[in-house]
Structure 1
Amino acid sequence: MSVQRTQALAPCFHCGLPVPPGTDYTTIIGGEQKSMCCPGCQAVAQTIVDGGLDGFYRHRDASATTMDSRISSEAHLADELALYDSEAIQAEFVRHTGDEQAEAMLVIEGITCAACVWLLEHHLSQQPGVSQFSVNMTNHRARLVWDPSQTKLSKLFGEVLRIGYKAHPFHPNREEQLLEQENKRAIRRLGVAGVGMMQVMMMAIALYAGALQDMEARFVEFIRWSSLILATPVVLYSARPFFLTAFRDLKTRQLSMDVPVSIAIGGAYLASVWATIMNTGEVYFDSVTMFTFFLLIGRYIEMQARHRTGKAGNALLDLLPASATLLEEGREKMVPATELKPGDVVLVRPGHTLPADGIILEGSSAVDESALTGEYLPISKNIDDPVVGGTINVEHPLKIRITDVGPNTRLSAIVGLLDRAHAEKPVTARIADRVARYFVLAVLITSATVAGSWYFISPEDAFWITLSVLVVTCPCALGLATPTALTAATGTLRQQGLLITRGHVLEGLASATHIIFDKTGTLTEGNLSIQQMQPARELNSINPYSIAAALEQASEHPIARAFHPYFQIPSVNTRVKVNAGVEGEVEGVRYRIGKPSYAAELYQGVTPDQPDHERQWLLLSDDQGPLAWFALDDQIRKDAAFTLNVLKRLGLKVGMLTGDDSSAAARVADELGIETVKQGVSPDQKLAYINELQSNGASVIMVGDGINDIPVLAGARTSIAMGSATDLAKTSADAVLISSELERLALALMVARKTRMVIRENLSWALLYNLVALPLAAMGFIAPYMAAVGMSASSLIVVGNAMRLSRLPRIRRKLRE
């Protein structure tokens, strides 16, 4: 079984990551067929070979199949990094803007805490040509904006490596593999630490009991050496990341919480080794292993929450299909969508998703762009019209010439903007980071002072008291207080359908005083439904609903969906005319339904006037004349009334801004009980109204979905775009309500308020714990093992308190009360 598993997870010849089972991506290198893990590596490897650079692979050590072994030689490293300067390779993850700037999405390997993020951002931002470098702590993605004419990308990759991290081009599959590898390493380190701690603690209990009962010296020596053997793997393997991070931070003249942690673990271990070898003094192997184990537990829980949040953030990437139908010399060929390039011609059948941006060469159809534009009605597309990847072809086959792929597509631009937004930090997190860094310095100064004082008071107690001070005051709880709460809350809200795209959203939601809604597509569903049927002549036994439903069964248009509940009898010889209507035979009689002019062509008569102009009317006719009118209109969301009542109960003032000046706006406001209504307003007037509220001290949440909402979404302190919003509205907003269920807004508000409370509780507990524990440890009342338990318990309390934000039943009950 183990042999089969090893074969299934053979390393990719290019990047060294495991090749997923069932994949078949290969490239001929040196006359041999080499396996690749994904289309990206296959394309890069083929580019290297085509460019005559395959000597890089020949010079590389045959055993270098992992990322670590590939960077062991400086010469090989320089060759590899130079490959990232190739335009062909950069095409997959670099997007060039119009102002001679380039933007790249990266995944950073080696991040362990907020101090890592600060170090990366501080160091890279100081490099020539770099205008922005921001890192998302949650998913370890980084957004790099730089001037390629000033600095090569390979040099920036080298700078990341020089300070102790590794940068990879962002690819969803590769990111998942890196996260999986990180999780496996963490479990192995935690397992070794846990087993070692349990065994060492048993030895320590025997040692403590022996000291009380005057155990023989030879047994004491045996227990000490046994503890040394058991504790060594814990220190050298499980605690290794702490030492590496502390060394890296000291080398770059930075202070993080890993510095006092490493001093405590390393100092206690070395002192215990000395005491064991010399058979004199105290040993602290139990404190070392316990300290390492509990600290790893806290970090593992935080990592799991971060991984869940990172995976939930990839939802937009799923809009693009995995494959496409490529047309080559008149033949159809299924290829991975990632292998498409500009100029390729693809066939997109009805119901299929467009794989990339392009231009229509043949055919006409309606394209559902609701995922990107928020327009619930499909848009009629004809030859030479542009189409967008991620949208859905609704009615007829289309032949499309690809114009943009990869990072140049509109969908990739949206994802890039969201990742950029995720790198922002709320004010609370930035303050906590600064406090933690100063606190580390204060801990080191205090420890040195305590050591010097006790050296003169009681030299034999100086070491263990100083060790207790270092351990008990480790600022892990303070450093975890804010990030764990924010990560848990953000992950919970993403799972509930609210995608946060700016760092200040939770603070804005928690302190909001007003919430303003757009109408169409926000308070209403944005989907048409039959509001009224009005006969145009005597119907006798004719049922216009069943006839209209029979005709509309042949169409995938959203208008047709309004008739689907009334389907009873089939139609034959049905024909759909794009942007006009449907014609067919029902029980031997030919009918038409659609625009009045189209329906009137069947009986070749005068087009009748529709009953009113407040709603959209469809005409059903036969060859004798018009039969019936159907009024279609948008309907209020089912959860709108409940949500607005909850928001009012939470103390928010609810208003509505809409460009609709018809009676529909007043009807919606009246049904939902909204007293503050501004209708028929322009985008500028919406923004002016919001600015007036905010200038008077209001904290405003704006919820919208259309292009006309973009200025006000950008101007409000906190803005939320509906899941059906336009792509520009989504990128202008601070959060996206992917589920489009308004009830999630009230839930988000309650989660935000609870998050604010949890952060305050965590910070208060962390500071109170250190204020109480530090004097006790400095006076010698806390032994090292007690300090390890207290510090670990403090961190676990903070993490456990934050994890309460992942449990929603209590919040939901309050929502329903």
Structure 2
Amino acid sequence: MNSKFEGQACFHCGLDVPKGTLFIADINGTAQPMCCPGCKAVAETIVSSGLEHYYKYRQGDSVAIPELSGTDLPTNVQDELQLYDNNTIQKAFVISLQDDLKEATLVIEGITCAACVWLLEHHLVKQSGVEQASVNLTNHRARIRWHDDTIQLSQIMAAIYHVGYKGHPYHPDKEEQLLELEKKRAFRRLGVAGLGMMQVMMMSIALYAGALQGIEDKFETFIRWTSLIIATPVLLYSARPFFIAAIRDIKSRYLSMDVPVSIAVGGAYLASAWATITQSGEVYFDSVTMFTFFLLIGRYLEMQARHRTGRAGNALLNLIPASAIRIREGNETLIPATELNIDDIILVKPGHTIPADGIIIEGYSSIDESALTGEYLPINKTIGDSVASGTINVESPVQLKVTDVGADTKLSAIVRLLERAQEEKPAVAKIADKVASYFVASVLLTAAIVSLFWWSIDPQNAFWITLSVLVVTCPCALSLATPTALTAATGTLRQHGLLITRGHVLESLATATHIIFDKTGTLTEGNLSLKSTQLCSDLDTQTVLGIAAALEAHSEHPIAKAFHKYQTQTAKALNVELGQGLEGTIEGVSYRIGKPEYSSALCQQQLTYKDAPDLDGQWLLLCGTQSPLAWFCLNDQIRKDTPRTLAILRRLGLNVQMLTGDNSGAVKEVANALNIKDVISNTSPQEKLAYIQKLQSQGAKVVMVGDGINDIPVLAGAQTSIAMGSATDLAKTNADAILISSDIGRLVDAILLSRKTQSIIRQNLSWALLYNLIALPLAAMGFIAPYMAAIGMSVSSLIVVGNALRLTKLVRRNPVK
């Protein structure tokens, strides 16, 4: 990096410039350092839009935007927010779902607990034009969907500021810096509180000893004033986040745990200060500093756990390299990856990471997809094969034609699906959030009753007993019990090749009774090959293969791939009959390929699988308008880990079934090889859905695993649906989880981990409730001092977080005999 900018902060956002990077933007004729390509792009857009005055307003002032709560935004803030309405800037973090419907992921600063999430979600959805807003308590990210013709993104971000929070476009590098900044701030607050606590405790010991053995008034006064001076920065700096959050919550009329905490800390400090000034009563500076310190310790360790899970998604997007080699008119140019556009031609050398989704147009190589799928073996790719950004070219240089960039890449889609799963709350999480919100009100009411009671019988101890009640019953552990467990389990499964895209999956997998599989591409590899061709007409083999390939050319079904290499012509007026076959015209003549019953109807003959050359294998029939033309026998292999996986699933108590549209001899062959007793074959998509619904009406909790377009209705209808990684895009969209890895054994891992997750959630909730039920009466009876209450509450939260982190490892599978 240029030594001129060594150690400087980013001119745009104020964060530290990472070592070894060099992003520079020309601002008002002066080269200024930038921390990332995102800030550089925003800064250059500011200048090109004629808004240089934005930096003039800001120069000399703190880059950090002040905390706002219902006040008018400063001019420089408004100018910056309006820049986010620029399509060029939105390209990196906004996706267009429909003509006017957009979706963005933002990182929110200022979130402290579940109440913050509730406030943000309810405030945002009240904005005209905002269709959906969900906030993740664990990683502090918000996913917002809005109608661009009704409300602009800048207005949404301004609405976030108005309730006391601060939003940033989500970018992994940017969030890493924000996480590091949050960590430094938390550590400084913790350090001030710890130092203050130690000093005040020394003073307090002297006061306690003096109360027993006698102490001169001048020394007692000196110690009290010294304690007040030391405790003041602890209150104003270390405990400041509690007061800011409490004021914000009171204004929004929603109680959070910060309200009783602030009342406890602020009340103890004010009472002690009054006692010091008037030289009367007891002082509680030791309780103020100790409570603040222990609470900050709990939040700091909780923050560390949250950062750990949040970095899992960041690590995915950080796979995308910063630069790419673009080829234009035979010239190679190194450019930032953010400047790539669709249809650009790029060169990816061996050992380099692919910067965008694309199709290989020259060369062949093997691609390491382990970061996305968990598969450690590279996959061979050649001309015409698609590759995803974030994967690594292993062997030979290849040229790609870019098909998707930025937020539209498969890698970005995976991250969004992962975030969607973490944002969606299962029933148990919603109940916990609701209980926590009512719990705070109950705590305040209980504290008031306890205070009145003790004031009437023992005024001297009333204050610190009330203080203990407020502190000991804060529902931190209750709020953390569910989200920490769900986030940990979701991240673990993603790292091992199963991407959960809906929040209810872990809950429903744990209680599943039936698991139903499609056959082709699910239980089998789906890499169908043409085994043999039996002619039924005067046409030769090449001709019938060319007709079949023309019909199957645009199909994504695994069967179609077996014919793609034979294509020599194009079919028109294609019509797909889900689960049956395809019909199209070639040079004015109609043809059908698919199941015998469907295809033979074109030539007015009634043929079935019994009319195939033999009853072994999977047979397709090609027919013209006059007569059948050829039978095709396809060959497929059972996935190598399937027998063992099904055996473990049965041992776990699940009813394993196969539901397929196929009616060939291959169905019986696969069922026998896998010991599947319940087989339903020759079913249409509608019949599949009806069968699933019938099972569910009888009380079954069904998991459906499929991969094709014909599986879409049943995937949407099942309580839990899992699409294979090779499935069609539509099937993935309708599925609740995606098996990115081809290892079907990951289904066992998902079942085992989901059951462990439910167990840990129950343990966490039970512990949180049990702790409060035990601690509240003890505090109300005066057996728990304020500092003990602070320690107990922090330890309770840490137990919950630590228990949830046990889900970062898969449950060991017991071997099958």
Q: Normalising to structure 1: TM-score of the pair?
A: 0.78
CA distance in 1, matches of 2:806, 2:412: 34
Deviation at 1:332, TM superposition (A): 0.8
Question: Partner of 1:241: helix, strand, or coil?
Answer: helix
Deviation at 1:110, TM superposition (A): 1.7
CA distance in 2, matches of 1:168, 1:237: 25
**In the alignment, is the contact (CA less than 8 A) between 2:365 and 2:398 conserved in 1?**
no
Deviation at 1:11, TM superposition (A): 1.8
CA distance in 1, matches of 2:663, 2:614: 19
Query: How has the CA–CA distance of structure 1 residues 319 and 637 changed in structure 2, closer, same or farther, with 3 Å as cutoff?
Result: farther
Aligned partner of 1:55 in structure 2 is 53
Aligned partner of 1:514 in structure 2 is 514
Counterpart amino acid of residue 19 in structure 1: V
Query: How has the CA–CA distance of structure 1 residues 815 and 510 changed in structure 2, closer, same or farther, with 3 Å as cutoff?
Result: farther
CA distance in 2, matches of 1:613, 1:672: 17
Aligned partner of 2:238 in structure 1 is 238
Aligned partner of 1:175 in structure 2 is 175
Counterpart amino acid of residue 462 in structure 1: A
CA distance in 2, matches of 1:652, 1:672: 15
**What pairs with 1:326-341 in structure 2 (closer than 5 Å)?**
326-341=326-341
Deviation at 1:153, TM superposition (A): 2.0
Query: How has the CA–CA distance of structure 1 residues 780 and 613 changed in structure 2, closer, same or farther, with 3 Å as cutoff?
Result: closer
- 1:381 and 2:381 correspond: no
Counterpart amino acid of residue 646 in structure 2: L
Question: Partner of 1:98: helix, strand, or coil?
Answer: coil
Aligned partner of 2:22 in structure 1 is 24
**Between 453-462 and 155-164, the greater mean CA deviation after superposition:** 453-462
**In the alignment, is the contact (CA less than 8 A) between 1:661 and 1:680 conserved in 2?**
yes
Deviation at 1:169, TM superposition (A): 1.4
CA distance in 1, matches of 2:263, 2:423: 31
**What pairs with 1:394-405 in structure 2 (closer than 5 Å)?**
398=399, 400=401, 405=405
Deviation at 1:788, TM superposition (A): 2.5
Query: How has the CA–CA distance of structure 1 residues 19 and 157 changed in structure 2, closer, same or farther, with 3 Å as cutoff?
Result: same
CA distance in 1, matches of 2:390, 2:769: 49
CA distance in 1, matches of 2:491, 2:767: 23
Aligned partner of 2:765 in structure 1 is 763
CA distance in 2, matches of 1:150, 1:181: 35
- 1:782 and 2:780 correspond: no
Aligned partner of 2:146 in structure 1 is 146
CA distance in 2, matches of 1:119, 1:639: 47
Deviation at 1:431, TM superposition (A): 0.9
CA distance in 1, matches of 2:345, 2:388: 14
Deviation at 1:126, TM superposition (A): 0.3
- 1:129 and 2:129 correspond: yes
Counterpart amino acid of residue 11 in structure 1: A
What RMSD over aligned residues (CA atoms) do the two structures have, in Å?
A: 4.0
Aligned partner of 1:557 in structure 2 is none
Aligned partner of 1:481 in structure 2 is 481
Q: Normalising to structure 2: TM-score of the pair?
A: 0.78
**What pairs with 1:510-659 in structure 2 (closer than 5 Å)?**
510-525=510-525, 579=565, 614=617, 635-659=637-661
CA distance in 2, matches of 1:5, 1:471: 51
Q: 1:720 aligns with which of 699, 719, 722?
A: 722
Query: How has the CA–CA distance of structure 1 residues 280 and 670 changed in structure 2, closer, same or farther, with 3 Å as cutoff?
Result: farther
Aligned partner of 2:471 in structure 1 is 471
Structure 2 gaps, min length 5: 533-563, 568-612, 620-632
Deviation at 1:331, TM superposition (A): 1.4
Deviation at 1:368, TM superposition (A): 8.6
CA distance in 2, matches of 1:510, 1:612: 40
Counterpart amino acid of residue 57 in structure 2: H
Deviations 1:38-85 (A, max 9, x none): 222222222222222223223321454445599997121122222222
**Between 750-759 and 424-433, the greater mean CA deviation after superposition:** 750-759
Aligned partner of 1:689 in structure 2 is 691
CA distance in 2, matches of 1:366, 1:683: 38
Structure 1 gaps, min length 5: 533-577, 582-609, 617-630
Question: Partner of 1:812: helix, strand, or coil?
Answer: coil
**Between 186-195 and 697-706, the greater mean CA deviation after superposition:** 186-195
**What pairs with 1:157-196 in structure 2 (closer than 5 Å)?**
157-196=157-196
CA distance in 2, matches of 1:298, 1:815: 40
**In the alignment, is the contact (CA less than 8 A) between 1:747 and 1:815 conserved in 2?**
no
Question: Partner of 1:516: helix, strand, or coil?
Answer: strand
Query: How has the CA–CA distance of structure 1 residues 116 and 298 changed in structure 2, closer, same or farther, with 3 Å as cutoff?
Result: same
Aligned partner of 2:609 in structure 1 is none
Q: 1:773 aligns with which of 775, 787, 806?
A: 775
- 1:450 and 2:450 correspond: yes
Deviations 1:730-776 (A, max 9, x none): 33222233444333332332222222222223222322332333233
**In the alignment, is the contact (CA less than 8 A) between 1:305 and 1:487 conserved in 2?**
no
Question: Partner of 1:296: helix, strand, or coil?
Answer: helix
- 1:805 and 2:803 correspond: no
Deviations 1:123-174 (A, max 9, x none): 0100111111112223222222222222222221111011111111122211
**In the alignment, is the contact (CA less than 8 A) between 1:11 and 1:66 conserved in 2?**
no
Question: Partner of 2:812: helix, strand, or coil?
Answer: helix
**Between 67-76 and 328-337, the greater mean CA deviation after superposition:** 67-76
**What pairs with 1:39-118 in structure 2 (closer than 5 Å)?**
39-66=37-64, 74-118=74-118
Deviation at 1:264, TM superposition (A): 0.7
Deviation at 1:348, TM superposition (A): 5.7
Aligned partner of 1:263 in structure 2 is 263
Deviation at 1:807, TM superposition (A): 5.4
Counterpart amino acid of residue 50 in structure 2: G
**In the alignment, is the contact (CA less than 8 A) between 1:380 and 1:579 conserved in 2?**
no
CA distance in 2, matches of 1:731, 1:405: 19
Deviation at 1:347, TM superposition (A): 4.5
**In the alignment, is the contact (CA less than 8 A) between 2:295 and 2:791 conserved in 1?**
no
Deviation at 1:212, TM superposition (A): 3.1
Question: Partner of 1:381: helix, strand, or coil?
Answer: coil
Deviation at 1:222, TM superposition (A): 4.6
Aligned partner of 2:428 in structure 1 is 428
- 1:277 and 2:280 correspond: no
Question: Partner of 2:256: helix, strand, or coil?
Answer: coil
Query: How has the CA–CA distance of structure 1 residues 785 and 110 changed in structure 2, closer, same or farther, with 3 Å as cutoff?
Result: closer
**In the alignment, is the contact (CA less than 8 A) between 1:366 and 1:381 conserved in 2?**
no
**In the alignment, is the contact (CA less than 8 A) between 2:493 and 2:499 conserved in 1?**
yes
Counterpart amino acid of residue 449 in structure 2: T
Work out the number of aligned pairs and report it.
719
Counterpart amino acid of residue 782 in structure 1: I
Deviations 1:509-538 (A, max 9, x none): 221111123344443455699999xxxxxx
**In the alignment, is the contact (CA less than 8 A) between 1:193 and 1:289 conserved in 2?**
yes
Deviation at 1:28, TM superposition (A): 1.6
CA distance in 2, matches of 1:479, 1:464: 26
**In the alignment, is the contact (CA less than 8 A) between 1:352 and 1:392 conserved in 2?**
yes
Counterpart amino acid of residue 100 in structure 1: D
CA distance in 1, matches of 2:615, 2:4: 71
- Percent identity reads 63
CA distance in 1, matches of 2:661, 2:641: 22
CA distance in 2, matches of 1:715, 1:369: 35
Counterpart amino acid of residue 37 in structure 2: P
CA distance in 1, matches of 2:805, 2:709: 37
Question: Partner of 2:680: helix, strand, or coil?
Answer: strand
CA distance in 2, matches of 1:353, 1:786: 53
CA distance in 1, matches of 2:359, 2:473: 63
Deviations 1:532-563 (A, max 9, x none): 9xxxxxxxxxxxxxxxxxxxxxxxxxxxxxxx
Deviation at 1:436, TM superposition (A): 0.8
Deviation at 1:494, TM superposition (A): 3.5
Deviation at 1:19, TM superposition (A): 1.9
Deviation at 1:255, TM superposition (A): 0.7
Q: 1:36 aligns with which of 34, 41, 50?
A: 34
